[in-house]
Every structure is written in structure tokens, then in C-alpha cells.
């Protein structure tokens, strides 16, 4: 299945819902042409205000070709909904597998090794994911691990100034982002270390606290650690990733040579397949038949650091049920501006202004006027003027795909 093919809603048979998050709903579907399972993310463009993030996710997915990154097949508009067609991974997310119990060191090593290979590819291309966590790591039935959910990923640049933003999920965020400092791709290394602890215990550090309390503890607290009961090489890997000073963290390419990562390349992936089978049996035993593809956390677009005490209390006492995420253990994603600062000309640092789309004529079955397409049934117009203005904005953003 390639991106040169034209898609329409009639070509897919939708089945169970796999996940629901800030950007939309994900379904398992059958491609009637290829007879393959695919994942279909439907985004309601009438209700979504995160157009730039949607644009960003499509742009990054369409340009990433790596065995440890979810495949993107194409997208199209249907009745004011954007359909994004992606690879379906039957094993679910690492987060969903953890519901049946924490992973063994060997399984964690397998996952970490594959994730690092994907991050080497992303970082070499000047991209940073910014939201590595178990919920965004998907597993195939054969034990292949793939990074998903690029809604908050971004492109690095060598521009002199940048827009500082705090983006990610609180429990996995590195202290330099929370403390409003400049950051680079070492932020992914920190998040991977937190994810390793999450997979070892079933929850990330500080998960006993509401998200806003956790944020302040990450900023001012001690370096997280794995604790006793684990091998020296696993402890060393986690400690290496979780250096509070980002300059002290190794690059993901350097991590390829770590003993724990090398261990993961030697362990048979059948160990990970056993976790999938264990989860399926756990679902049967607990009558838990809800399937999951991945569940992106809800993004809160506010300057949370500057909220008054009442607002902070609302956030901390409101637990983690904000938005529509099915994953109450993930907390929520936050995204807010922290002003503009001057930084050295160094292409290791993030520049949100560089998140531009490359021209790709094969991704949308629409034209830039929104007129009806022969096979998707979409017709622009016949709505109120406010919606028409919004649709024009959407087409302007997406027109580079045409």
C-alpha cells in the first residue's frame, strides 16, 4: 500500500474503536482493495482547533520511512472529517499490555532497543518526538515496536531565535522543558528513561500525584531512579538517560552501544509476543474486551505556570479526567507559549517556525477550493460563514499536499 493511491471512505469497512484522544477517534478498518487491516484516525474539523498540530502529524508521518515508525498511507476529507489512514498494529500499545502486569527486563530491553533505532532515525533527520511514553509505542503481532502519535513532534532548526513551548505529557517531561529552558533532542532521551521505569513498574515516577503537582516535583525534585531488584546494566541505562543536566545525557546513537540496549538486540522477540498473548488472556479472564490502538492524552492549551491558585487547585483536584482520553493513567498533554528567547546558531535546538509541510500531491483527495471530489463525496458550502472561514483556513494549511 503506497501513498500514490487515491482513497475514499467507500474503500474502507470500519470496525471497533481502538482509541479516542485529543485529535479524534481511531478505528480498525479493512481496506476493501488490499484486504488488509488498517488504522483509521477520524478528525472532526468542525470541532478541532489544533489544525497546525494535525498538519504537523501528517507532514512528519508522510516523510518518515523506518521499520520502527508507524506507516502512513494517506488521507482524505469526508463530510468535514479528515480521515488519516495508517498502519494497524494488532499487539496494541505498550501501555495497554502493561495492564496485564509489568514487563521483564528482557522485554523492556527489546522495546528500548527498537525505540532507540527509531529515535536515531528521527534525530538524524532533525526531528524530535517530545512525547515518548508507553502509550505511544505500538506493537505488531510479531513483536515489532513502532513509535506513534507525532502530534507534538517538531523539526529542529538553526534559526537564531525560537518559540519556547512546553509540549508533552507531564510525567514524562524533562526538567529543562518544565523550567522553560531551551531544549534539544536529549528531551527524548529523558522521556525514554522515564518510559523504561514505567514499563518496569507499570506506572511512571510521580504517578501518585496529580499532573500539576508532578510538574513542580520534576522541576525541583531529585533525579528519578529505578531502585533495587534490577540488574546493574538496567539501572545504569536509566540513570544515564535521566541526567538532570541535558548536556550530560548521551545521544541516542551513543545509547546504541549501551550494554542494556545491546541486550535487547540479542533477546528473541518471541518474549514480547508472549506479553501480547498474556494480555489477551488477561482480557478474557477479566472480561475486558476493550481493544486499544493508542490513546493520545488530551492537550490543555493554557499558560498553566501563570494560573492563579484557584486554577491550580482546579487542575490538581480535577485528577486526570480532563478531555476525552480513555487513558486515565497518562495524565494530559500540555502546550503553552513561554515567550521568545535568543539562542546560539546551533541546529540541535528546536524551532517551531520550521514546521513546514513539503509538497506532496498524493496525500489528499481534495482540491484547494473544497469542491466536491468524485469519490469522497465532500462538498464545500451550505454551512454558516464561520465554518466556511474555518474550512478555508484548513484548505490553505493542507494545500501543500496537493
Secondary structure (DSSP) of 190-232: HHHHHHHHHHHHSS-TTTTS-HHHHHHHHHHSPPP---SSS-H
322 CB contacts (<8 Å, ≥6 apart)?
A: 298, 300, 332
Q: Whose CA is closest to 170, among 390, 310, 377, 334?
A: 334
Give tens-digit pLDDT for 58-91. Answer: 777 788 899 999 998 988 888 888 898 999 999 9
- CA distance linking residue 304 with residue 211, whole number of Å: 11
Q: Which helix (H) or strand (E) holds 154?
A: strand 154-155
User: Under 8 Å CB-to-CB from 273, ≥6 apart: which residues?
Assistant: 91, 141, 142, 143
Q: How far is CA 28 from the centre of its chain?
A: 18
Which residues, in sequence order, are CB contacts of 60 under 8 Å at separation 6+? 127, 150, 153
CB 147 within 8 A of CB 68: yes
Distance CA 10, CA 225 (A): 51
172-187 as b/e: b if 16+ CB within 10 A: bbbbbbbeeebbbbbb
Could you give the count of Cα atoms lying within 13 Å of 200 in the half-sphere of its Cβ?
A: 22
Q: Is 13 helix (H, G, I), strand (E, B) or coil?
A: strand
Residues of the chain with pLDDT under 50: 2-3, 152-153, 157-164, 291-383, 399-402
Answer for the pair 138, 96: CB distance below 8 angstroms, yes or no.
no
81-95 as b/e, with b when 16 or more CB fall inside 10 Å? Answer: bbbbbbbbbebbbbb
| Euclidean distance between CA atoms 377 and 83, whole angstroms | 13
**Active site positions, annotated:** 131
Q: Which of 80, 75, 77, 2 has its CA nearest to residue 39?
A: 75
Helix (H) or strand (E) holding 263: helix 259-266
Helix (H, G, I), strand (E, B) or coil at 108: helix
CA-CA distances (angstroms) from residue 355 to 34, 363, 402? 33, 18, 18
Strand-pair category, 333-342 with 299-300: parallel
Q: Which residues contact 338 (CB under 8 A, 6 or more apart)?
A: 164, 165, 166, 180, 305
Model pTM above 0.85 = no
Question: Which pLDDT score, from 0 to 100, does residue 393 have?
Answer: 57
pLDDT at residue number 69: 94
Which phi and psi angles does 216 have, rounded to 5°? -70, -30
Which of left, alpha, beta for 226 (phi over 0: left; psi -120 to 50: alpha)? alpha
Each residue of 116-166: pLDDT tens digit?
999 999 999 888 888 899 999 999 999 999 998 765 445 554 432 233 455
Give dist(CA 194, CA 189) in Å, integer.
9
Distances (CA, A) of 210 to 106, 178, 318, 321: 31, 15, 8, 11
Q: Please tell me whether 247 is known to bind a ligand.
A: no
The CA-based dihedral angle spanning residues 58, 276, 25, 286, taken in that order and rounded to the nearest 10 degrees: -170
**Rounded to an integer, what distance in angstroms lies between the CA atom of residue 369 and that of residue 221?**
53
Cα separation, 136 vs 172, whole angstroms: 12
Amino acid at each position: 500500500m503506497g501513498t500514490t493511491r487515491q482513497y475514499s471512505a467507500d474503500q474502507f469497512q470500519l470496525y471497533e474503536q481502538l482509541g479516542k484522544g485529543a485529535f479524534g477517534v481511531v478505528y480498525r478498518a479493512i481496506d476493501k482493495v488490499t484486504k488488509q487491516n488498517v488504522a483509521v484516525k477520524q478528525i472532526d474539523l468542525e470541532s478541532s482547533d489544533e489544525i497546525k498540530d494535525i498538519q504537523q502529524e501528517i507532514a512528519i508521518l508522510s516523510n518518515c520511512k523506518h521499520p520502527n515508525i508507524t506507516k502512513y498511507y494517506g488521507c482524505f476529507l469526508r463530510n468535514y472529517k479528515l480521515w488519516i489512514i495508517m498502519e494497524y498494529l494488532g499487539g496494541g500499545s505498550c501501555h495497554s499490555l502493561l495492564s496485564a502486569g509489568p514487563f521483564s527486563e528482557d522485554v523492556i530491553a527489546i522495546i528500548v532497543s527498537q525505540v532507540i533505532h527509531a529515535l536515531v532515525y528521527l534525530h538524524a533527520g532533525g526531528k524530535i518526538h517530545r512525547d515518548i511514553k508507553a502509550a505511544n509505542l505500538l506493537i505488531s503481532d510479531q513483536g515489532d515496536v513502532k513509535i506513534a502519535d507525532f502530534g507534538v513532534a517538531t523539526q529542529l532548526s538553526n534559526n537564531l531565535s525560537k518559540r519556547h513551548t512546553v509540549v508533552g505529557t507531564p510525567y514524562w517531561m524533562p526538567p529543562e522543558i518544565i523550567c522553560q529552558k531551551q531544549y534539544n533532542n536529549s528531551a527524548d532521551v529523558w522521556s525514554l528513561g522515564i518510559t523504561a521505569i514505567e514499563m518496569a513498574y507499570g506506572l511512571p515516577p510521580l504517578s501518585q500525584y496529580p499532573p500539576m503537582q508532578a510538574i513542580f516535583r520534576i522541576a525541583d525534585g531529585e533525579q528519578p531512579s529505578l531502585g533495587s531488584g534490577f540488574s546493574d546494566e538496567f539501572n545504569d541505562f536509566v540513570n544515564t538517560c535521566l541526567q538532570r543536566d541535558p548536556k550530560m545525557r548521551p545521544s541516542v546513537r551513543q545509547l546504541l552501544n549501551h550494554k542494556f540496549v545491546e541486550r535487547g538486540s540479542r533477546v528473541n522477540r518471541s518474549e514480547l509476543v508472549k506479553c501480547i498473548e498474556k494480555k489477551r488472556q488477561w482480557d478474557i479472564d477479566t472480561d475486558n474486551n476493550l481493544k486499544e490502538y493508542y490513546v493520545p492524552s488530551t492537550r490543555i492549551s493554557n499558560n498553566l505556570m501563570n494560573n492563579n491558585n484557584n486554577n491550580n487547585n482546579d487542575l490538581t483536584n480535577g485528577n486526570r479526567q480532563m478531555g476525552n482520553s480513555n487513558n486515565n493513567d497518562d495524565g494530559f498533554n500540555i502546550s503553552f507559549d513561554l515567550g521568545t528567547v535568543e539562542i546560539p546558531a546551533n541546529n540541535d535546538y528546536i524551532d517551531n517556525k520550521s514546521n513546514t509541510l513539503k509538497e506532496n500531491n498524493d496525500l489528499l483527495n481534495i482540491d484547494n477550493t473544497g469542491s466536491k471530489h468524485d469519490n469522497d463525496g465532500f462538498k464545500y458550502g451550505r454551512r454558516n460563514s464561520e465554518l466556511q472561514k474555518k474550512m478555508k483556513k484548513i484548505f490553505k494549511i493542507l494545500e501543500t499536499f496537493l
